[in-house]
Amino acid sequence: MERPAVQRLLLEVQAKRIDVIVVYKVDRLTRSLADFAKLVELFDAHGVSFVSVTQSFNTTTSMGRLTLNVLLSFAQFEREVTGERFATRLPPRRRKAYGWAGGSARLPVEARALHIVEDHAELVRGCSSAISKSSA
């Protein structure tokens, strides 16, 4: 878990400055079942309770842990399906030559400034005047 805020939270837990962690939804903390299992183990070792405002479960009972694991399994499944969907949609877009497929446009270093290409300038001027005449 590379998230800086979670790392700070874990340091506070280890320093025993926190006794309850409250989240809006469990998947806002992590969507990885493995990561969450490690977090719960750390919380238990330091006597920290875990509460979700919108999802009622109790991590101190076996039924509560089962419910939590099911919720996290679905959150992890959703994350993986979204990644797969994204990965399968990009290559066809690139093959169809849609050009930009998301993200920042990457320009070569020499194209970072605008320059008039004289070979194309006359064509552009012609198109521009044709559009101006047709809309008048």
Are 59 and 89 in contact by the 8 Å Cβ rule? The answer is no
Distance CA 63, CA 68 (A): 9
Distance CA 57, CA 25 (A): 11
Tokens 């198109």: give the residue: 127
SS3 (DSSP) at 90: helix
pLDDT of residue 18: 92
* Average pLDDT score over the chain: 79
Using alpha carbons, list the distances in angstroms from residue 112 to 11, 107, 108, 135.
44, 6, 7, 33
pLDDT of residue 17: 94
Please report which confidence band the pLDDT of residue 9 belongs to, taking 50, 70 and 90 as the band edges.
very high
Tokens of 58: 């109790």
Give the 3-state secondary structure percentages of the chain, helix then strand then coil, rounded to 5.
60, 5, 35
pLDDT of residue 129: 86
pLDDT of residue 52: 80
Give residue-wise pLDDT tens across range 71-122.
878 878 888 888 888 777 776 666 665 555 566 655 555 556 677 888 888 8
Give residue-wise pLDDT tens across range 21-58.
888 887 788 877 778 878 888 988 999 888 888 877 66
pLDDT at 62 over 90: no
